[in-house]
Structure 1
């Protein structure tokens, strides 16, 4: 601050030497005020370490709850399609029941195309996040009164999905702007909440369903969601502007970006990865109970194990990305995910399936953890809101269609595993695995192509990117 004052004083002396007119004095005062305003705005946008830490914690808790619920919907899928289901028209209907969860998950991400522009227009961002907390919790609680599938579509799909998106994106739009050197690590920590959420929520939901029934399970989950979400929502404040003039970053995708090969490949890859990533989350528990004849408690533990490993992987992928490059790590994670599906899940017996649960949890964490940071790296901070919103909208669409199509491939069947039915189901699941592996292979090709195009556009290949 002293250096700026000294420069301003020197400028004022030189102007007075020119004649000391009131006009020159006004110029000097104006320059002082402009300089002070610029410095004040720069200081306002510079985050404190305390706020950075609080933001990481709240982002972690938000992801813990929102994505943790999304990633454990397979437990509800298992119950709703079982003979003991409280939903009369859901028994054995994998595709229709999967659509309940995928609409909810899809709206969580797909709502970005509406929520991000809203963030730029609403002065108090807490209004958005608090609304999301109440709507999301209401959707879960109201789902407990459902008796038919369309009731679930309105509550556990629509209300939950809209509310979770309103809570999710203000924090996710804010967080990357507060970090520079350790952005990958910070986002990895925040997004690791999804794995921890799945690790905790999966066995908890199974216990509640077995002990109290699905209705009270949903009511307890809804109230717990509200308890966690309200404090998290209150931490969010209006994101700092991209430029000193105070104008919010644009939320519309520039036409020039739409014409770039990197953007087209990135969006297609995001759609395919989201479609493929949802399939194991939804059908891991049903495969373990229907084909491998595990009890439902073991199925929930395997889902929890997958989510817990995924959580550690996201943090680890963030550290690795800061060392070898974010795009490199993202590409490797998607390729290894597709190889795990083909090599370990196809025609899997118990030992190989457990290996798949572990390794897929490791590999799948990279894409979700690193996508926001690679968007900033490839398209620039000034385009982050627009590109991030559009890509997550397409990820939402991918999430909606991936698991239900897998359910159509699987078809209707009994949850009681017999020798004959398990052999038949194994063949059905093999077809499902081929479908899932093809989606992830397509995503691998797209992200690798983005890596090559981005290097070309920036003037040449660099090993660390």
Structure 2
């Protein structure tokens, strides 16, 4: 006898029960359909559809973080040629605001992904960033560039950052770490492409058409990524679910693993972008390198980060995420401190490559472990967005703090900048060790996470 029979008050006989066993309907006063109680099919771990989404997310990341990582070339051009009346500090805020907004908007984009708005965010974000690039080609004043390259690109990119990672995370379990690593490899690859495009075209075409060429490349990569991410996909969220998803989960504020995860990322991101921001000017002012050679240092660091992400992702799939993550955080801090003793161009190149290699995994590994930090899938997007919002503050203030330590009034002394970036990243690495023991004691997991 079913609950429906009891609640309707119908008399169920032995014969009717027999009929129900062999027929999809029950013969009483009216026909009542019976829904078979079959479990839903299990979620596939990977598959062709999921790996195509990894490729699509790779293209998205090549535009999101790739454009951020290429800002060093813009900084040099704005400072020396295009915005000569603005201070280097003011110019640097364009890139900082874009990076901070990219991460901060994740506070909203994570829950919106949970609610099923990935398609809308993908189209608005991709086409919005492309439109911002075309508008940038028309700009000649500081406030115009800040609005387009700083604010508009940051807002539109933020719609895609966390949803792109969450989409890949939904499709994988066993191979989640390597899938995340492949996805985020789009960031350094995009950074290399946009840096090379800017360097090769700026003297030939001028600023306006160089930016338009980059915008057309961006548009093409987005148009390729849209069908890879959307066609035939069934893991894009649930617009039809009756439950209301939270934009802010207050219970996270009482969860110690959430705070340990968030503060670890805060200190890591506080120092993460400092070398990428200042190695070029350091090479020129302290080692006498040419501008093109110093920009090649950034490209070498970005290329090395590709290998670091792939190796860390593979290692995480074999031994867990925490060991590669702790190693990456502590090693990045150690190399930043070692930067103090670098006095030759060869040692500087080696430092840049090693820092790029070990700092690269700091982007893909954190979201891979967050499903353990937050085991409730209903609030995973909201909590991940909150954690990334805390990290966005670090991305916003890290480079300016380092710049203030550089300008001490006694000339360009980089020791304060180098020690600051190294110490805060090492602090983040030690907090990751604390997170590891918290997860072991408070989550039902094994020794390897």
How does the TM-score come out when normalised to structure 1? 0.84
For structure 1, the 5+ residue unaligned runs are: 1-11, 414-422
Query: Aligned match of 1:333 in 316, 328, 332?
Result: 328
Change (3 A) 1:70 1:345: farther
Change (3 A) 1:162 1:346: farther
For structure 2, the 5+ residue unaligned runs are: 1-13
Q: Encode CA deviations 1:326-360: one digit per residue, 9 max, x unaligned.
A: 01211111001000100135554322211210111
Aligned 8 A contact 2:126 2:222 in 1: yes
Q: Which residue does 1:438 correspond to in 2?
A: 423
Aligned 8 A contact 2:125 2:159 in 1: yes
Q: Which residue does 1:139 correspond to in 2?
A: 132
Q: Which residue does 2:393 correspond to in 1?
A: 397
Q: Which residue does 2:251 correspond to in 1?
A: 256
Change (3 A) 1:13 1:394: farther
Q: Which residue does 2:85 correspond to in 1?
A: 89
Matched, 1:324 2:319: yes
Aligned 8 A contact 1:142 1:155 in 2: yes
Aligned 8 A contact 1:269 1:443 in 2: yes
Q: CA deviation at 1:136?
A: 0.8
Q: CA deviation at 1:47?
A: 7.2
Query: Aligned match of 1:30 in 23, 34, 50?
Result: 34
Q: CA deviation at 1:174?
A: 1.1
Q: Which residue does 1:15 correspond to in 2?
A: 17
Instruction: State how far apart, in whole Å, the 1-side matches of 2:49 and 2:164 are.
Output: 13
Q: CA deviation at 1:448?
A: 1.7
Report the count of equivalent residues. Answer: 430
Aligned 8 A contact 2:274 2:402 in 1: yes
Q: CA deviation at 1:14?
A: 8.6
Query: Aligned match of 1:113 in 102, 107, 110?
Result: 107
What's the secondary structure of 2:288's corresponding residue?
coil
Q: Which residue does 1:378 correspond to in 2?
A: 373
Q: Encode CA deviations 1:135-185: one digit per residue, 9 max, x unaligned.
A: 112222222333332222101001111121223333222110001111111
Q: Which residue does 2:298 correspond to in 1?
A: 303
What's the secondary structure of 1:291's corresponding residue?
helix
Matched, 1:274 2:269: yes
What's the secondary structure of 2:363's corresponding residue?
helix
What's the secondary structure of 1:213's corresponding residue?
helix
Change (3 A) 1:88 1:324: same
Instruction: State how far apart, in whole Å, the 1-side matches of 2:53 and 2:15 are.
Output: 46
Change (3 A) 1:296 1:25: farther
Aligned 8 A contact 2:171 2:235 in 1: no
Q: CA deviation at 1:314?
A: 0.6
Query: Aligned match of 2:163 in 170, 176, 198?
Result: 170
Aligned 8 A contact 1:266 1:447 in 2: yes
Instruction: Indicate the RMSD between aligned Cα atoms, in angstroms.
Output: 3.0
Change (3 A) 1:459 1:221: closer
Change (3 A) 1:95 1:26: farther
Aligned 8 A contact 1:273 1:439 in 2: yes
Instruction: State how far apart, in whole Å, the 2-side matches of 1:18 and 1:436 are.
Output: 71
Q: Which residue does 1:80 correspond to in 2?
A: 78
Q: Encode CA deviations 1:5-57: one digit per residue, 9 max, x unaligned.
A: xxxxxxx9992179996259967x4232x53xx54xx37x6477221121011
Q: CA deviation at 1:119?
A: 2.9
Change (3 A) 1:319 1:301: same
What's the secondary structure of 1:146's corresponding residue?
coil
Instruction: State how far apart, in whole Å, the 2-side matches of 1:49 and 1:436 are.
Output: 40
Instruction: State how far apart, in whole Å, the 2-side matches of 1:259 and 1:212 are.
Output: 55
Change (3 A) 1:264 1:47: closer
Instruction: State how far apart, in whole Å, the 2-side matches of 1:51 and 1:459 are.
Output: 30
Q: Which residue does 2:219 correspond to in 1?
A: 226
What's the secondary structure of 2:35's corresponding residue?
helix
Q: Encode CA deviations 1:235-265: one digit per residue, 9 max, x unaligned.
A: 434763889x945794445433321222112
Q: Which residue does 2:439 correspond to in 1?
A: 454
Instruction: State how far apart, in whole Å, the 1-side matches of 2:369 and 2:392 are.
Output: 18
Higher helix residue share = 1
Instruction: State how far apart, in whole Å, the 1-side matches of 2:72 and 2:20 are.
Output: 78
How does the TM-score come out when normalised to structure 2? 0.87
Q: CA deviation at 1:364?
A: 0.5
Q: Which residue does 1:419 correspond to in 2?
A: none
Instruction: State how far apart, in whole Å, the 2-side matches of 1:315 and 1:222 are.
Output: 28
Instruction: State how far apart, in whole Å, the 1-side matches of 2:20 and 2:48 are.
Output: 48
Q: Which residue does 1:420 correspond to in 2?
A: none
Q: Which residue does 1:53 correspond to in 2?
A: 51
Instruction: State how far apart, in whole Å, the 1-side matches of 2:259 and 2:311 are.
Output: 29
Query: Aligned match of 1:213 in 206, 215, 219?
Result: 206
